[in-house]
Structure 1
Amino acid sequence: MLRKLHGLPGLVAALLLVVLATSGVVLSVVPALERSGAVVPAAGELSVAGLAERVITNYPGTEQIARSLSGEVVVYYSQDGQPGADLVNPLTGEGIAPYQPSAFVRWVKNLHRSFLMDDVGRMLAGVWAALMVLICLSGAFLLARRLGGWKAMLQPIPGSGSPRIHAELARFAVIGLLLSALTGSYMSAVRFGLLPEGASTEPTFPAEVSGGVPAPAGSLKALKNVDVNELRELVFPFPDDPTDVYSLSTTQGSGFVDQATGELLQYQARSTGSQFHHWMVRLHTGEGLWWLGLILGLAALTVPVLSFTGLQIWWQRRSSAISLGENASIEAADTVILVGSEGNTTWGFAKDLQNKLNQAGKKVHCAPMNDLAVHYPKASVLFILTSTYGDGDAPSSASQFLTRLEHFQPDDGLEFVVLGFGDQQFPKFCQYALDVDTALSNKGLQHMHPLTRIDRGSATQFREWGEAISERMGIPLVLTHNPAPAVTSEFELVERVDYGVAVNAPTSILRFKPLKNSRNLWQRLPFQNRKQLPDFEAGDLLGVAPPGDEAARFYSLASSASDGILEICVRKQTNGLCSGYLHSLKPGDRIAGFIQKNPGFRPAGGTTPIILVGAGAGIGPLAGFIRKNTERNPMYLYWGGRNPDSDFLYQPELGRYLDDQRLTRLNTAFSRSAENAYVQDAIVADETALRHQIEIGAQILVCGGREMAAGVRQVFDSILKPLHMDVEELRTEGRYLEDVY
C-alpha cells in the first residue's frame, strides 16, 4: 500500500510536478538576487521618519514608499504630472535605477501558480502540491523502511543505478520539497476558501484627525519609532489636504499617522492567523529569507531527476517478467521454481536455472511465489528464489506466499532449496529469504541444500551455488546468468612469471595491458582516458572464455586500475580448458575478456586489522590488497603453498611489502617441504594473536579452493569458541569474506 501511495501519485503528477519544480527553481533565485542588490541598514540605524525625509529630498512628489522583504526600497512618485517608480538607497534617499518588475519573472510566476490558466490552473497547482505532500511523506517512510529505520536515514545508502540515485536525491531534498509542498497546498487552500486566511488586520480610517499644519515627515513621532527594516509600506497623505493621514504598514501591524501631530491612530496589530499566513508565504517563496529560497531551489532541482529515475524504477518493476522457457504444468513438473521479485531482476536468475534444469532432462514449472499451489503431485524439489524488499519485507510477487503456505500440502520426499538475493550492506540482508526458509522447515519440508544468499546479483556466487546444486542432484548444471551482460575488451600479455613446475602445480602470474585499438568498451572511453584501464579493484573478476567455448571462467584480479596493468594468478588445472589456454599464452598474445565487479570481497577501510588467508593461486587478490595498503594499516597474510623453492608465489613482492610495512606480518606453510604444513596449521600456531585481533574488530578474507576454505572455517570456529563467537556470526557482520573456487 505504501508503495502505491508513493508510486501512483508520482506517475500521475510527474510532468506537471516537473513544471512546478522548474519554475520554482527560477523563482527561488529571485529573493537572493534582490537581496544582493539591496542596501540594508543595520538594525536601529535608520527609522522610517529618516527614510521618508531623505526620499522626499530627492523625490518631492513622493506618494508611496514600499520596502520588500528582501530589503529593496521603492519610491512611487509624481513628477510633472507623470507617475514614476525608482529603486532608492535608503541611507541616502537617492535613486538607484528605475523600478520595472521583470516581465519574465512575472510570466514564470504565472506558470508556477496556475500553469498560465488562471483559476483553473491555480486549482490544479494546488492539487499537485497536495500530491507532492503525499509523495514526500510516503517516500520518506519507504526510504526509512528500506534502510532499516529512521536512525539509519543518515547512513550511506547501498545499491546502484536508478534506485540508488533516486534514494540519495530524495534523502537530500525531501525536507525542502515537503516544506514547499505543504506551504503551497496551504496557500491554495486559503485562496479557494478551504482554509481561513486569518482575521483581517486592516484598521478602519480614523474618525477624527487634528487637521493642523502638516509637520515634516522626518519629525513625526510615530514614524521615528519604527525601524526601517520593519517597514512594509508608507502611503503619503494627499497633497494640500490637512484632513488626510499617512497610512503605515509594518511587519507587526498597520495604522494611520496624523500628519500634523505625528500620533499613531487606529493601530491594528497583525492577528495570529495573519502572522501565520504571512510566514507560510515567506517559507514558500523565500521572500526575506534568501538563503531558504536557495535551499528550496536546490531541492526543486532534484524533481526532474527524481521523476525520471522514479519512472525508470516503475517501468523496471511493472515490465513483464522475463519470458520463461519450456514451462511444465503443475501436474507434470518434477521440479518447481517459485520466484519472489520486486523489480524483475530475480527472474533472470530463475530463467537461467529453469533452462539448465530443462537441458538436464527435468520437467520444470516456474511461477511467482504468490502462485504457490496447494499440491505438486510429482515434484521432488522446490526451489525458492527470492529477493527482500525494504526492511525484511516480501517483494511484490511474494506478498501472499506465507499466507498460501498455510494451505500447502507437500508430499513426503519433497525437498526444498532457498536462494536469497540482496545487498549485504543493508541491515537485514536477505531477511525475507531467511523467513521463508524457516517457514518451509516448520512446514515439515527437508532441505536439499542449505539457504544461500547472493550479494548484489553476483554472477560468481550464483554459478558457485549452481555447482553445489549440481553435485546434490547429480546432474550437469552450469549457471551463467549475469544481470549485467559482459562487454569484452582486448588485452595483450606483457609479462608472465612462472612457478610450480617442479612440484607438478604449474602456476603463473599473468600481466596484461589493454589494447588501444579495441573496438568495444575500450573505444567508448573518453579519448584522454584511453591509456587507462576500465575501472576495477583487486578482488574483482576477469571473465575469459577460451576459444571454442562460450562459457566464461572467472579469475580474481590481483591488481587495481591505478596499477596500470591487469594481473591474474592462474594455476593450470588437469584438463582445464581455460587455464590451459591462459598458460599457453606468450608475451604479445592477446585475449578477449571482461571485468566483473565483486564488491562482496573487499578489505574494510580505515585502521581495521585485516587478516588475509589463502593457498596456491588464491594469493592473487590478497597480494593486490597488500599492494594498495599505502596507509600502512595492520595487514596479516597466512598463505600455504607446496614448496618454498618452486612455488613461493609473489615472494619478491611480499618481501618488499614487509620492508615498507604495507604487510605487517607474513606466515607461510608448505605441504611438500620438511615442515609438511598447510595454511590451517599456520593459523593454529598463531591462534592467540589472531583471537586478539578478532576481538578488537579484525576482518578476515579467505581466497582459494573449497577444501582449503572449509578447513580454514573449522580452524577459526575453534579459535572463536573462547569468545563465544563463530564464523557465521562474523560473516553476518561482514567480517568474514570468502572468494572460493
Structure 2
Amino acid sequence: MLVSIWRYAHLALAIVSSIFLLLLSITGVILAIDAVNEKIPPYRVEHIETLNLAQSVTALRKVYPEIIAISVDHNQFVSIDAIDADGNTVKGYIDPNTGRLLGPQLNKSQFVQWITALHRSLFLKVTGRVIIGVVSFLLFLITISGIILIVKRQQGVRHFFAKINRDFFAQYFHVVSGRLFLIPILILALTGTYLFLVRIEILKKPNQTIEYPNKMKEDVQLEVAKFSIFQNTKLVDLKTLEFPFMEDDPDEFFILKLRDRELTINQLNGSLHKEVKYPFTALAEQFSLDLHTGKTNIIWAIILGLASLNIVFFIYTGFAITFKRTRTKIKNKYKPEEAEIVILFGTENGSTLFFANQIHKQLLADGQKSLLLGMNQYQCFPKAKHLLVFTSTYGLGTAPSNALQFEYKLNNHPQEQDVQFSVLGFGSKAYPDFCAYAREIDHLLEKQAWASRLTDLHTVNDKNVDEFISWIHQWSAQTNIALASAPAIYSAKVVGLTKFKVIAKSTVSASNTTFTLVLKPSGKIKMQSGDLLAIYPAQDQRERFYSIGYKDGMVQLVVKLFPNGFGSSFLYRLEPNQTLQARVMVNPSFHFPKAANAVALIANGTGVAPFLGMVSANESMTPLRLYAGFRHRNEMTAHYIDFADEQIKLGHLKQLELAFSREENAQYVMDLIRRDALYFVELLDKGGYILLCGALRMQHDVEHTLNELLLEHVGKTIAVYKENGQILTDCY
C-alpha cells in the first residue's frame, strides 16, 4: 500500500509540473551548453591563483594611466575598463601580469538572454518567478518520491545500486538514469527553490556595515604595492575593484568587492574606511547560483546539461510506464459471486495483465464465467471452480504493488468450496530471484485446505511466448477448455499499420454466410500463409485477427459474417478499390513446415484460409492432404472443390476430404480422421506434420480423437508429437 501511495504521489507531481519541467529542462540544456562555451576562449592566464591584488594593480598602472575598474568573472577571466597612454578606451580581457589585452569582452547573445529570461521567469516577471519556484520545489518532491520508490523496489538502501530487472526500455531507463543523475537533479531542484525564495525576498537579510576610524595620519602615504589589504587579497577572490575617480583626493576611495564583503579603502594609505559584510543568504545565493548554472566548472556544467536532458527523458519514460501499466482495459461480465474461473494478476508495469487479459477474453468468448482482478482484490468467490494466479516479482523477490495485501486477504478469506489453482510466474532468469514471488504464492495456496493443485507452478522467462503457450497446453489439457495457441495472439508488440487495397470480395447468401476478401498491400511486406492480419474496425485499440492465405503478393481472407459482428461487418462493408489500415503479425509457429515428408491440413469453416495459400505455394510437391469441415454444401464449398481439383492436377495437393455436419449423412472432421486412422498414425509416427486451423472446440475434439488413435495403435499420447513440434495449431 505504501508503494502505491508513493507511486501515485510521484505520478501526480509529475503530471502537475510536466509542462513547466519540460520547458525548464530544455532551456537548462541550452544554458548548460552556453556555460561550457564560455570556458572555451583562452583568456584565463596560468598561475592566476598565485597572484595577489597588490601585484596586479601595480603592474596594470604601469600600462594604463587611468583605470576605472578591474573585474574577475566566474571563469577567472580578468577584464579591465581603462584608458591607455594614447587616450583610447580599453575594455576587454587582459593578462593581469602584464596588462596585455587578450580579447574583447564576451557579451551574451540575444538568444541566450532570451532563453535565460524564459528559464527564470517565463517572461512573466514576479508571477513567472513564483511559478518557476513552485515547479523547482515540485521537482524536489518528485526526486524524493522517486528515491523512496527505488529504495522500496530494491528492498532497502544497501541494494540501491543493485542490478535492475529490465522489463522494458522505458522502465529500465527511468530507474537506472534516475539513480545515475539523482544528485545533480536534487541539487538543481534545491538550488532553484532557494534562488526563488531569495529573489522574492522571503530569505533576504540586511547587510552589516562597519565603519572604521582612520588610525593612520592623513599625511602618511603608501604605495599601492604596500597596501596590506591588497597584499592579502588573492586576485581570484576579487569580483570588482573600482578605482578612485581622482588620484590623491582623500575623499575618493578604492571600492573592493569580494565574494563575501565589500571594502572601502583609503587610496592614500590603504587603510580600511568601511566594510559591508554580506549576509549568509547572499553567500548562499551565490553558491546556489554557481551550483545551479555550472558556470564555475566545465565538468559540472556538462553534468547539469546531461541531468537537464535526462529530465526530458524522465518525463517521456514516466508517462510511457504509466501508459503501459494502464493501457490494458479489463472488461468483466460477471460479478465475484457469479464467477467460476477467477484470474488474479500481480503486475508492476502491466505486462502480466496483458497475458492474463488475453486468457480472460478468450474464456468469456467461449462462454465461461471468467473474472479478472488484481491480486489485492482477492475475496470469497462462492461459485469459483478454478483460480489462476498470474504474477511478476517486484524488486528483489517481493510482491508487486497490486499484490501487497494478497497474503493477508488469502488467510482471512478462505473459500468455502474446493477450488483448483494454477500459478504462473513471470520474470527474468538474469536475476537470482527469478519468479520468487510466484513461488511464494504457489506455496501459500498449496497450504490452503480448500485449494487443490491443477498444474505445477509454471514460469515464463522474459515474457517468452512459447513458454506461456506451453502452460496453455497444460491447463487446457487438464480442464478441457481450449485456448488459442498462436504466439502472435500473446505478442504485445505493435508494429506500424499498412494500407491494404480491396481487390475482390465475394457475397453472402441465404445458404452461405461466409465470404472471401482479397487484399493487396500498398508496399512490400514480408509475410506468408499462416500469419495473422490484425484489423481495427473502430480505429481504436480494439483489434480482430484473421488468418492469412498468401499467394502472388495478395492476401486472402475467409470470413464468416455475423449479424452486427464487429470485425466481419466492417470487412463485408468494404468494396473493391477501397482501403483499410491493418498490420501483419508474423506467426512463425504456424508456417508450412520446411522439408516435411508429408503434411495433413485440418480445418473447419473459415480456418481453411491459410491452407488455400499453403496448398498454392507447395512448389516442392510435399505430399499434402486437406481435411475440412463445413455445415452445408454451397457455392463456397463448390469453389473449394474446384480449387482442389486444379491443385491436384498441378501436384500441389494429393486429395481433399470434406465433411458436412448439416447435410444428409452428417459428418464431422473427427469422423474423417477416424476413418483414415492409419494414415494419421503413420503420418505422425514417420515424422510428418499436422496443421490445425479453425475453432477452438474443433481443435479440442481433433486432438482428443488423435490421442485415442495414437494410444490404440502405437501406445503414445498426442503430447509426444506436440513436444516434437509435429502438431501446429492456430485456433480461436
3-state secondary structure, aligned to 2:39: helix
Q: Which residue of 2 aligns with 1:281?
A: 289
Q: 1:488 to 1:261 in 2, by over 3 A?
A: closer
Length, aligned pairs only = 538
3-state secondary structure, aligned to 1:262: coil
Q: Match of 2:168, as an amino acid?
A: S
1:84 offset after TM fit, Å?
7.3
Q: Which runs of 5+ in 1 are unaligned?
A: 490-516, 523-543, 558-567, 590-645, 648-703, 710-741
Whole-angstrom distance in 2 between the partners of 1:202 and 1:20 = 38
Equivalent residue runs for 1:677-692 within 5 Å: none
3-state secondary structure, aligned to 1:141: helix
1:179 offset after TM fit, Å?
1.3
Contact 2:198 2:281 in 1 (8 A): no
RMSD (Å) for aligned C-alpha atoms: 4.4
Q: 1:397 to 1:93 in 2, by over 3 A?
A: same
Contact 1:340 1:395 in 2 (8 A): yes
Please give the TM-score of this superposition, normalised by the length of structure 2.
Answer: 0.63
Contact 2:212 2:272 in 1 (8 A): no
Contact 2:79 2:105 in 1 (8 A): no
3-state secondary structure, aligned to 2:181: helix
Equivalent residue runs for 1:12-411 within 5 Å: 12-37=16-41, 38-43=43-48, 45-77=50-82, 85-95=91-101, 96-98=103-105, 100-147=107-154, 149=156, 150-151=158-159, 153=161, 155=163, 158-195=166-203, 200=207, 203-204=210-211, 210-212=217-219, 217-240=224-247, 241-251=249-259, 253-264=261-272, 275-319=283-327, 321-324=328-331, 327-358=333-364, 362-377=368-383, 379-411=384-416
Whether 1:3 and 2:18 are equivalent positions in the alignment is no
3-state secondary structure, aligned to 2:74: coil
1:588 offset after TM fit, Å?
13
Q: Which is further off, 93-102 or 230-239? A: 93-102
Q: Which is further off, 100-109 or 9-18? A: 100-109
Equivalent residue runs for 1:713-732 within 5 Å: none
3-state secondary structure, aligned to 1:36: coil
1:178 offset after TM fit, Å?
1.1
Contact 1:345 1:483 in 2 (8 A): no
1:468 offset after TM fit, Å?
0.6
Contact 2:348 2:401 in 1 (8 A): yes
Contact 1:201 1:274 in 2 (8 A): no
3-state secondary structure, aligned to 2:93: strand
Q: 1:204 to 1:229 in 2, by over 3 A?
A: same
Whole-angstrom distance in 2 between the partners of 1:35 and 1:484 = 49
1:485 offset after TM fit, Å?
4.5
Q: Which residue of 2 aligns with 1:442?
A: 447
Q: Which residue of 2 aligns with 1:655?
A: none
Contact 1:179 1:284 in 2 (8 A): yes
3-state secondary structure, aligned to 2:146: helix
Q: 1:706 to 1:169 in 2, by over 3 A?
A: same
Q: Which runs of 5+ in 2 are unaligned?
A: 498-521, 528-546, 551-556, 559-583, 603-609, 623-685, 688-719, 726-732
3-state secondary structure, aligned to 1:417: strand
Whole-angstrom distance in 2 between the partners of 1:569 and 1:133 = 60
Q: Which is further off, 131-140 or 463-472? A: 131-140
Q: Which residue of 1 aligns with 2:426?
A: 421
3-state secondary structure, aligned to 2:79: strand
Contact 2:425 2:459 in 1 (8 A): yes
Please give the TM-score of this superposition, normalised by the length of structure 1.
Answer: 0.63
Q: 1:129 to 1:552 in 2, by over 3 A?
A: closer
1:570 offset after TM fit, Å?
7.2
Q: Match of 1:453, as an amino acid?
A: T
Whole-angstrom distance in 2 between the partners of 1:707 and 1:111 = 65
The superposition leaves residues 128-162 of structure 1 with CA deviations (integer Å, 9 ceiling, x where unpaired) of 11111111222233234435554352636523232
3-state secondary structure, aligned to 1:226: coil
The superposition leaves residues 596-653 of structure 1 with CA deviations (integer Å, 9 ceiling, x where unpaired) of xxxxxxxxxxxxxxxxxxxxxxxxxxxxxxxxxxxxxxxxxxxxxxxxxx99xxxxxx
Q: Which is further off, 360-369 or 210-219? A: 210-219
Q: Match of 1:165, as an amino acid?
A: F
Equivalent residue runs for 1:650-729 within 5 Å: none
Whole-angstrom distance in 1 between the partners of 2:150 and 2:128 = 32
1:552 offset after TM fit, Å?
7.6
1:44 offset after TM fit, Å?
5.6
1:463 offset after TM fit, Å?
0.8
3-state secondary structure, aligned to 1:64: strand
Q: Which is further off, 268-277 or 50-59? A: 268-277
Whole-angstrom distance in 2 between the partners of 1:210 and 1:707 = 107
Contact 1:419 1:453 in 2 (8 A): yes
Q: Which residue of 2 aligns with 1:459?
A: 465
1:83 offset after TM fit, Å?
8.4
1:487 offset after TM fit, Å?
6.3
Q: Which is further off, 573-582 or 245-254? A: 573-582
Q: 1:573 to 1:473 in 2, by over 3 A?
A: farther
Contact 1:488 1:521 in 2 (8 A): no
